[in-house]
Amino acid sequence: MEGLLTRCRVLPTLATCSCQPSRYVPGRFHHCAPGRRQRLVLSRVFQPQNLREDQVLSLEGKVSDLTCKSQRLMLQVGLIYPASPGCYHLLPYTVRALEKLVRVIDQEMQAIGGQKVNMPSLSPAELWQATNRWNLMGKELLRVRDRHGKEYCLGPTHEEAITALVASQKQLSYKQLPLLLYQVTRKFRDEPRPRFGLLRGREFYMKDMYTFDASPEAAWQTYSLVCDAYCSLFHRLGLQFVKVQADVGSIGGTMSHEFQLPVDVGEDRLAICPSCSFSANVETLDLSQMNCPACQSPLTETKGIEVGHTFYLGTKYSSIFNAQFTNFQGKPCLAEMGCYGLGVTRILAAAIEVLSTEDCIRWPHLLAPYQVCLVPPKKGSKEAAAAELTGHLYDHITEAVPQLCGEVLLDDRTHLTIGNRLKDARKLGYPYVIIAGKRALEDPAYFEVWCQNTGEVVFLTKEGLVELLTQVQTV
């Protein structure tokens, strides 16, 4: 039929296309063989062009405000874009990495019995007034009033809300405990001076878990279980961390630990004993305390970025909201509680901070937005005949290595030289960059492979590439 072609829309999603007869609209569609997965192409990704440093500074305000490597890199390569002080647009690459991080968190939390919930961001003032945190947290709470004059806050955390929810379940039995309820949601905190990009903002993503146990002994076991899950998470991400004794602050409770990534830009001061396992946030120690309280060895000090925080709450909140369960004797008892936070967007930015070079982003291998970037030759160059080979290689990789379906990106900007596109690819930190250059025209064809995280450059055939990429882990 004239004017009707079998085509598929180029979508910026991971879904496979469904080729249906559609009326042709120039510039909006591309040819796709029936049954073949669409190729993800770089030219279709919504991303600001690479920004010069002076442009980045004009977006963020004063030169002195841009003091953090992760903030500068994320702005320059188009991962984030400023919306207002302390708030950012998270652009497609960042959202992909964030969703992968959430999947890893889900795996770890659900492996220990965590059940995912989702609570409202708007939290009624009366809940916070019941615990006196409405006044205690002061200007840090972002407060709003609805048309009826009722006051709310945009929740920075959800101890009150979750405890009131559990308290509403009047028939809760000890047989249903422990309860490990968690969510991954946006949080809000009215920072007086937002800084460091996603490391300290007014709006951010956090994973917060709240646990309910039948006894202090059971609650301690749950506390250890969640801490072990946090350790597993950071090990899987390949991040060097330290678990330190911490202050309970406005959350409260009787014990607290922070999970810190040691780095110079960190705002927390940590005291670490090189002779034993003792470590603490300096704010928990006597200022005159220079030696380890466990073994008396001299303490060393470093800076860190807090990426996780755990609290043993006891009955601090359950007693206020009367969150009870029925014990094995049929008597009502207050639940023993714990709460456990992970700064999701902060982990993402902190990982970039500690792993990246000054000029190029390096991702934890599980979180890279795309695992592979294919770079065909420039249009009109001597190697242009290898362009078709690059397309065939894309299809071969996604079929031969199923876990990489949706993880391979084709840099189709063939008006640019290979060198310019390689420079962009190195900045964005794809773990593997595959270039079709002169040797792709040999028989057999050899492709240049940049292994970004190791700095290794090798030449491999199509079969060698598949063997290498089969080892790539994804979530």
pLDDT, tens digit (0-9, with 9 covering 90-100), for 440-471: 999 999 999 999 999 999 999 999 999 999 99
* pLDDT tier, 65 (very low <50, low <70, confident <90, very high otherwise): low
Per-residue pLDDT tens digits for 259-309? 999 999 999 999 999 999 899 999 999 877 789 998 999 999 999 999 999
- Dihedral over Cα of 399, 400, 402, 404: its sign: negative
User: pLDDT at position 18, please?
Assistant: 32
Is the pLDDT higher at 50 or at 125?
Answer: 125
**What is this structure's pTM?**
0.90
Delimit the domains of the chain by residue range: 68-355, 372-471
Q: Crossing angle of helices 216-237/92-111, nearest 10°? A: 140
Residue whose pair of structure tokens reads 């994804």 in the numeric block: 474
Residue whose pair of structure tokens reads 């120039």 in the numeric block: 26
Distance between CA atoms of 30 and 28, rounded to whole angstroms?
A: 7
Identity of the residue numbered 134? W
Confirm if 365 and 432 have CB atoms less than 8 A apart: no
DSSP string, 290-307: -B-TTT-PBPEEEEEEEE
Distance between CA atoms of 113 and 429, rounded to whole angstroms?
A: 34
User: pLDDT at position 15, please?
Assistant: 35
- Dihedral over Cα of 329, 334, 338, 344: its sign: positive
pLDDT at 37 over 80: no
Distance between CA atoms of 53 and 75, rounded to whole angstroms?
A: 9
CATH annotation of 372-471: 3.40.50.800
Fold identical between 68-355 and 372-471? Answer: no
Confirm if 404 and 397 have CB atoms less than 8 A apart: yes
Confirm if 400 and 341 have CB atoms less than 8 A apart: no
pLDDT at 53 over 90: no
Per-residue pLDDT tens digits for 361-402? 999 999 999 999 999 999 999 999 999 999 999 999 999 999
Distance between CA atoms of 441 and 452, rounded to whole angstroms?
A: 24
Q: What mean pLDDT is predicted for residues 52-70? A: 65
- Choose the CATH number for 68-355 among 3.20.20.70, 3.30.565.10, 3.30.930.10, 2.120.10.30: 3.30.930.10
Distance between CA atoms of 180 and 359, rounded to whole angstroms?
A: 41
**What are the φ/ψ torsions at residue 378 (nearest 5 degrees)?**
-70, 140
Q: Crossing angle of helices 344-355/92-111, nearest 10°? A: 110
* pLDDT tier, 258 (very low <50, low <70, confident <90, very high otherwise): very high
User: pLDDT at position 2, please?
Assistant: 36
Of residues 228, 218, 208, the one with CA closest to residue 177: 218
